[in-house]
Amino acid sequence: MNPKERFLNACRQKPVDRPPVWMMRQAGRYLPEYRAIRKNHPTLEMMKNPDIACEITLQPVDLVKVDAAILYSDILIVPEAMGLKLDFVKDHGPVFDQAVRSTEALFRLNRRDVPERCPFVFETIKKIKQKLPQDFPLLGFAGAPFTVGAYMVGGDGSYEGNEIKKLAFQNRHLFRQLMEKLTHATIDYLKAQVSAGVDAVQLFDTWAGTLNAQDYEELALPYTREILKAINETGTPTILYIKGGSHLFSKMLQSQAQVISIDWRLSLSEAKQMAQGSVAIQGNFDPAHLYLPIPKIEEAVRKMFEDWGTGPGYIINLGHGITPDVSVENAKAFIDYAKQHGATTLS
Amino acid sequence: MNPKERFLNACRQKPVDRPPVWMMRQAGRYLPEYRAIRKNHPTLEMMKNPDIACEITLQPVDLVKVDAAILYSDILIVPEAMGLKLDFVKDHGPVFDQAVRSTEALFRLNRRDVPERCPFVFETIKKIKQKLPQDFPLLGFAGAPFTVGAYMVGGDGSYEGNEIKKLAFQNRHLFRQLMEKLTHATIDYLKAQVSAGVDAVQLFDTWAGTLNAQDYEELALPYTREILKAINETGTPTILYIKGGSHLFSKMLQSQAQVISIDWRLSLSEAKQMAQGSVAIQGNFDPAHLYLPIPKIEEAVRKMFEDWGTGPGYIINLGHGITPDVSVENAKAFIDYAKQHGATTLS
C-alpha cells in the first residue's frame, strides 16, 4: 500500500496496512535544518518564497519520515491576501497593522481574488508535488473563519480570542459580515490549493475552543460547514481541528468533516464512541509527552493505541503542534514506534 | 438569611433563600475606582499595602453589590514569599526574576515561614473583616501547586504552561520536590488566611486544564487534595477552580473540594449530573456574554438557571474572570438579575 492510498483510505475509514502518522507543525523549529533557514529569512518571506517553503515542507518527510507532508504556510495568509499587512513578531507571534473592527475596515478587505493575491502558495504546492514521490500525500490547510477572524479583530492573537467574542456579542451584524467574507475567501483559497494538487485539507479552528457548545453552533460551525461542504464536493478529504475542543466534539460531528482531529483532553475511545463510525479520528498525543525519555514515549504511544482499540479510520498525530524544544530524536521515536506498531490498532 | 449564612449554606448544599452571586476578578480593572488607584500604584504595591488592598476588595461589594468579597491579592504571592522576585509587567502579566528549573534553585526557596514573609495578606484580611458587616462573607484564595509551579518554572506564564509539563516529563523527581514544597507552603498560607478570618477559600488551578485526565491525576490532583484536606479540617469550605477543566470534572470530584467551580465549556446540568450531589457547583457564565446588551445578558442568565434546573448547592459566578473592558452597568445587570431571579433555581 503506498503512502497516498494509506492516508486517503484512513481519512475515508477504508482498510489500511497500518494507520498513517504525521505531526502538526512538523515543518518547524524543532528541526535544526529549519532553524538554519529561519536564521537568514523572516517568517513571512519563507512562506512567500516557493523554493524555501517547498524545502521546509519536505524537511520532516526526509528527516523524520512522516507519512504525509503538510504545506509550510500560515492560516493568516488569507487575511494578508485580503489586504491586511501581516508581520510575525519574535516571541509574540502574528500581528496585523490594524484591527478589523468597523464596517469601513471590513469593506476595505478584498475577498474575490484571494488566490490571485497569494500565488506563491500554489506555486509552492506545485513545486512540492514535483519533488515528492507521486504516491506521497500532501496536505493543504486554512484557518476557519472564527479563528482567522479572532486574529483580524484582535490585531494580534492575544487575550485568548476575547475580541472576536466581543464583536460577536456587541455587533452581530458586523461579525456575520466578517465571517461570510472569510468563508467565501477560504473556499476559494482551499479550492485553489486542491487545484494545485493537495490531496487532503485540514481546517484549523484554534480559538473556537473558547466557545461554549451553543455559541460554537451559532458563531463558528455554520461557516466551517459551508467551507467543508464546498471542499467535499471536490472529492478531497477534509480534516477539522479545534484546540481544546473536547467539549465541542459532538457539534464537530455536524461539520461535514470526514476526519476530526482531537487533542489529549478527549480520549480516542470517547471520541470513537461518540462518532459511531461517522468520521475518522486524528490525534491525540500530547506533544509534551515528547519530552519523556524514549522508552516512556513508546509506552505512551502504546497506551494511545490501547485507547483507540481496533478498527479503521485512525490517523496518528499529536493533539497540537510539536514544540520547538523537542529533540529530533524524540520526534523520530514517536514516528518510528507509530509506524512499527500502528498495525496493532487495525484488528 | 444573612449573606454569610447564604454563602456558607450554598457551599454546603444546605437550604438558602436564593443562591449567592459573585464574580471572579470582581475587584479589578473594569471598575473606574480600581483604575484610579492603579494609576498611582504598581500592582504589587497595591497588594502589599493593606489599606489599598482592603479598599479594592470592598469596591465591588459597594459598587456592584456582589454577595461575597474576595481578598485582593495574587496567586503568586506564595512564591514571592518563598524568595522569588515578582513583577507585574504591563500587557504581559506576572514575571519572576528567575525560572526555577534546578535542584539548587528549588533549594534556595523557603517554605517554612511563608505566612511570616507576607504579613500584609493577613493584615489586609483583618482590615477587611473590620470594615465588612460581620454577617458578610470574605473569601481567601491561593493557586494550586501545578499552576503556581507553572509560573515558577516558566519564569512567566507564557507558552501555555508548557515548561511545567516539560519538567514533569523530563525530571519527575525535581517536579515532585517542587510540588511538595508548594503544597506545604500553600497549606500554611491558607491556614493563616483562615486564622485571619476568611470564611471560605478558593484554590485556582488555571494551568491544570492543559493536562489530560491521567496526567492531571498524577501531576496535579494529589497536591490539590492534600491542600484541600488540610483546609477541610479547619471547617472552612473549599472551592476548586480549573479554567478549561471540563474534561477533568470527574477527577475534580476526587479532590475533596466542597464546591467545584466550572467554566462555560461544561454545562451546569452535566456537572450536576456527574456530581450526584457530592459537591456544590459554582459557575459558569461566560464573561464574554457580559458584552451583550443588558436584555440579552438577562436572557443568558435565565438560560443558565434553566440549565441548572432546581436544587441546592449552587453559587452563581462567571466561568472565568471578568474582562477589563466590560461596563460596570453590564456587570451590575448580571448581579441584579442573579439576585432577583436566582430563587427560581431552588425548587
B336 is catalytic: no
A74 is catalytic: yes
- Name every chain B residue with its beta carbon within 8 A of the beta carbon of A291: 165-166, 169-170
CB contact under 8 A, B165 and A213: no
Domain assignment present for residue A307? The answer is no
- Top residue of A25, A92, A211, A265 to mutate, by most chain B CBs within 10 Å, is A265
pLDDT band at A157 (very low <50, low <70, confident <90, very high): low
Q: Does A234 contact B at CB distance below 8 Å?
A: no
Q: Does B323 contact A at CB distance below 8 Å?
A: yes
Q: Does B286 contact A at CB distance below 8 Å?
A: yes
Half-sphere exposure of A192 (CA within 13 A, CB side): 21
CB contact under 8 A, A291 and B265: no
CB contact under 8 A, B165 and A292: no
Q: Does A34 contact B at CB distance below 8 Å?
A: no
CB contact under 8 A, B212 and A166: no
Give SS3 for A140.
strand
CB contact under 8 A, A212 and B264: yes
Q: Does A295 contact B at CB distance below 8 Å?
A: no
CB contact under 8 A, B169 and A292: yes
Domain assignment present for residue A259? The answer is yes
Indicate the residue of A212, A267, A288 with minimum beta-carbon distance to B166: A288
Domain assignment present for residue B89? The answer is yes
Above 80 in pLDDT, residue A24? yes
pTM to 2 decimal places: 0.96
Q: How far is the alpha carbon of A264 from chain B, nearest alpha carbon, in Å?
A: 6
Query: What CATH number does residue B159 fall under?
Result: 3.20.20.210
Low-confidence ranges of chain B (pLDDT < 70): 156-160
CB distance A197 to A157 below 8 Å: no
Active-site choice (A30, A34, A151, A216): A151
> Which residues, listed in sequence order, are joined to residue B139 by a DSSP beta bridge?
B70, B200
CB contact under 8 A, A169 and B212: no
d(CA A148, CA A185): 11
Domain assignment present for residue B93? The answer is yes
> Which residues, listed in sequence order, are joined to residue B238 by a DSSP beta bridge?
B201
Q: Does B170 contact A at CB distance below 8 Å?
A: yes
pLDDT at B135: 98
Using the structure block, give the residue that is written with the C-alpha cell 492603579: B38
pLDDT digits (tens, 9 = 90+) for B218-277: 999 999 999 999 999 999 999 999 999 999 999 999 999 999 999 999 999 999 999 999
Q: What percent of chain A has pLDDT over 90?
A: 93
- Name every chain A residue with its beta carbon within 8 A of the beta carbon of B289: 169
CB contact under 8 A, B296 and A266: no
CB contact under 8 A, B212 and A247: no
Report the largest interatomic distance among the alpha carbons of chain A, rounded to a whole angstrom.
Answer: 57
- Name every chain A residue with its beta carbon within 8 A of the beta carbon of B296: 169
Parent domain of B181: 3-284+313-324
Above 70 in pLDDT, residue A159? no
Above 60 in pLDDT, residue A320? yes
pLDDT digits (tens, 9 = 90+) for A188-230: 999 999 999 999 999 999 999 999 999 999 999 999 999 999 9
CB contact under 8 A, B266 and A286: no
- Name every chain A residue with its beta carbon within 8 A of the beta carbon of B170: 291-292
- Name every chain A residue with its beta carbon within 8 A of the beta carbon of B291: 165-166, 169-170
CB contact under 8 A, B212 and A265: yes
- Closest-CA residue of chain B to A325: B166
CB contact under 8 A, B286 and A215: yes
Number of domains in chain A: 1
Q: How far is the alpha carbon of B291 from chain A, nearest alpha carbon, in Å?
A: 6
Give SS3 for B136.
coil
User: ipTM value of the model?
Assistant: 0.94
Q: Does A171 contact B at CB distance below 8 Å?
A: no
d(CA B161, CA B3): 37
pLDDT at B157: 54
Q: Does B295 contact A at CB distance below 8 Å?
A: no
Give SS3 for B254.
coil
Q: Does A40 contact B at CB distance below 8 Å?
A: no
Q: Is B12 exposed, middle or buried (0-12, 13-18, 19+ CB in 10 A)?
A: middle
Domain assignment present for residue B56? The answer is yes
pLDDT at B159: 52
Q: Does A264 contact B at CB distance below 8 Å?
A: yes
Query: What sign for the dihedral angle of Cα B295, B300, B302, B303?
Result: positive
A302 is catalytic: no
pLDDT band at A337 (very low <50, low <70, confident <90, very high): very high
B29 is catalytic: yes
- Closest-CA residue of chain B to A172: B292
Mean of pLDDT values over A311-322: 97
Q: Does A340 contact B at CB distance below 8 Å?
A: no
Q: Is B181 exposed, middle or buried (0-12, 13-18, 19+ CB in 10 A)?
A: buried
Active-site choice (B30, B34, B72, B151): B151
Q: Does A89 contact B at CB distance below 8 Å?
A: no
What count of CB pairs under 8 Å joins A to B? 57
Q: Does B212 contact A at CB distance below 8 Å?
A: yes
d(CA B57, CA B128): 8
pLDDT at B155: 75
CB contact under 8 A, B265 and A247: yes
Above 90 in pLDDT, residue A110? no
Indicate the residue of A213, A215, A266 with minimum beta-carbon distance to B247: A266
pLDDT digits (tens, 9 = 90+) for A115-138: 999 999 999 999 999 999 999 999
Domain assignment present for residue B341? The answer is no
Closest alpha carbon to B13 in B272, B307, B234, B331? B272
Q: How far is the alpha carbon of B288 from chain A, nearest alpha carbon, in Å?
A: 6
Q: How far is the alpha carbon of B215 from chain A, nearest alpha carbon, in Å?
A: 10
- Name every chain B residue with its beta carbon within 8 A of the beta carbon of A213: 267
pLDDT at B161: 77
pLDDT digits (tens, 9 = 90+) for A25-68: 999 999 999 999 999 999 999 999 999 999 999 999 999 999 99
SS3 for A316-343, per residue? EEECCCCCCCCCHHHHHHHHHHHHHHHH
Q: Is A239 exposed, middle or buried (0-12, 13-18, 19+ CB in 10 A)?
A: buried
- Closest-CA residue of chain A to B323: A162
- Closest-CA residue of chain B to A296: B169
Q: Does B29 contact A at CB distance below 8 Å?
A: no
Alpha-carbon torsion angle B88, B90, B91, B92, nearest 10:
-30
Query: What sign for the dihedral angle of Cα B148, B149, B150, B155?
Result: positive
A151 is catalytic: yes
